[in-house]
Structure 1
Amino acid sequence: MNKKKIFTSLLVKDISRFRKVDTNIYLLILRYFITSSAFRSMFFHRLLSLNLVNNKVLRKIITAFGWLLTEIEIPSTSNVGGGLFIPHPKCIIINRRCIIGENVTIAQGVTIGGNIFKEKNGRESPIIENNVLIGAGAKILGPVTVGENSIIGANAVVIKDIPKNSVAVGIPAKVVKQVNEPYPDLIKKNYSL
């Protein structure tokens, strides 16, 4: 698959977290680029991470422009899966070597950062697996892994691995509950409108 098709398919996954993709995808991309700063940040990240822009100066300009427009820092070297959802896009910092899986939700004020003084298996940055919800103000620091289908509570500070299907809260974050379903299903079941 060429880079432009990968770029479009990842943007479709991102948009599908906002709404059902049932109309012309290019019009939806344009609409969300204009109206959603979270989508704009993902657009710039995907544009740069797939090396669709090769000029170094232009890459730096796009990075700075993206930060000014969105207040979200997602470096092009971080690996972000499709379907990232940022409902309140302000003051989010993601480490340049971080790996984020698919269908992850990140609330405002989240920091996903590395720790150069604490390496594990040659990495210093977090791995966030698929279907993870990260609450407002949470900090995930160092070479930790947040397991699939986990929920990190607001203002939690994660400095140790969180197993899959867990709810972790506190400073430092501790697992307080195991869940059997992905968080989108739990939300639909418990908070249906």
Structure 2
Amino acid sequence: MKNAISLYRISNYFHRKNIGFISKIFDGINFLIFNSVVPGSARIGYKSKLAYGGIGVVIHSKAVIGERVIIGQNTTIGRKLSPEGVPIIANDVYIGAGARILGGITIGNNVIIGANSVVLIDVPDNTIVAGNPAKIVRNLDGSIYDLLENVY
């Protein structure tokens, strides 16, 4: 296994087949090898990737992540102190290294989240956000992959 997403996909397969104990074994292997918490119960879309093997990535077990999302190393996608609400991330999103996306928020389509940003509010489609707390720094006219050359 060269990436934490590969182990997640196996774990997710067993989770969907209601074979939870095998799913948990793969979750544990993922933690041991990549120091990542990417549970099989999370929903991560087609062609989504974890950068640099997924080292240090933490994703809540109920998080929903769309297609073609790139998640940087040491990123956290989870809830706040409240037991309610986890992030929902749409399609074509780039999440920079060390970002924190917390609470029952929605990240729109075609979004770039800057490195080390702390996102606590909804992010609309076609924007770039950065900072702590994250704020919109730019609106986008085209695809994020036009700006992020050779990333995907």
**Fold shared, TM-score > 0.5 on shorter chain:** yes
Pairing partner for 1:144 from 99, 105, 108: 105
Identity of aligned residues (%): 33
Does the aligned pair in 1 maintain the 2:59–2:78 contact within 8 Å?
A: yes
SS at match of 2:50: coil
What is the one-letter code of the residue matched to 1:138?
A: A
Count of aligned positions: 150
Provide the residue aligned with 1:111 in structure 2: 76
- Taking a change above 3 Å as real, the CA distance of residues 118 and 158 of structure 1, as seen in their structure-2 partners, is farther
Q: Distance in 2 between matches of 1:48 and 1:167?
A: 36
Provide the residue aligned with 1:5 in structure 2: none
- Taking a change above 3 Å as real, the CA distance of residues 70 and 118 of structure 1, as seen in their structure-2 partners, is closer
- Taking a change above 3 Å as real, the CA distance of residues 45 and 166 of structure 1, as seen in their structure-2 partners, is farther
Q: Distance in 1 between matches of 2:68 and 2:118?
A: 21
Unaligned runs of 5+ in 1: 1-32
What is the one-letter code of the residue matched to 2:103?
A: G
Does the aligned pair in 2 maintain the 1:132–1:149 contact within 8 Å?
A: yes
Does the aligned pair in 2 maintain the 1:98–1:112 contact within 8 Å?
A: yes
Provide the residue aligned with 1:78 in structure 2: 42
The question of 1:102 aligning with 2:67 is answered: yes
CA RMSD of aligned residues (A): 2.0
What is the one-letter code of the residue matched to 2:80?
A: N
Provide the residue aligned with 1:186 in structure 2: 147
The question of 1:133 aligning with 2:94 is answered: yes
Give the greater-gyration-radius structure (CA). 1
Q: Which runs of 4+ in 1 moved over 6 A?
A: none
Provide the residue aligned with 2:16 in structure 1: 50
SS at match of 1:62: helix
| Alignment map for 1:10-25 (pairs within 5 Å) | none
| Alignment map for 1:51-66 (pairs within 5 Å) | 51=17, 54=19, 56-66=20-30
Unaligned runs of 5+ in 2: none
The question of 1:87 aligning with 2:51 is answered: yes
**Larger strand proportion of the pair:** 2
| Deviates most, 128-137 or 79-88 | 79-88
**Larger helix proportion of the pair:** 1
| Deviates most, 128-137 or 78-87 | 78-87
The question of 1:170 aligning with 2:131 is answered: yes
Q: Distance in 2 between matches of 1:169 and 1:134?
A: 10
Q: Distance in 1 between matches of 2:79 and 2:134?
A: 17
What is the one-letter code of the residue matched to 1:94?
A: I
Shift of 1:116: 4.9
Q: Distance in 2 between matches of 1:39 and 1:111?
A: 15
Q: Distance in 2 between matches of 1:66 and 1:38?
A: 6
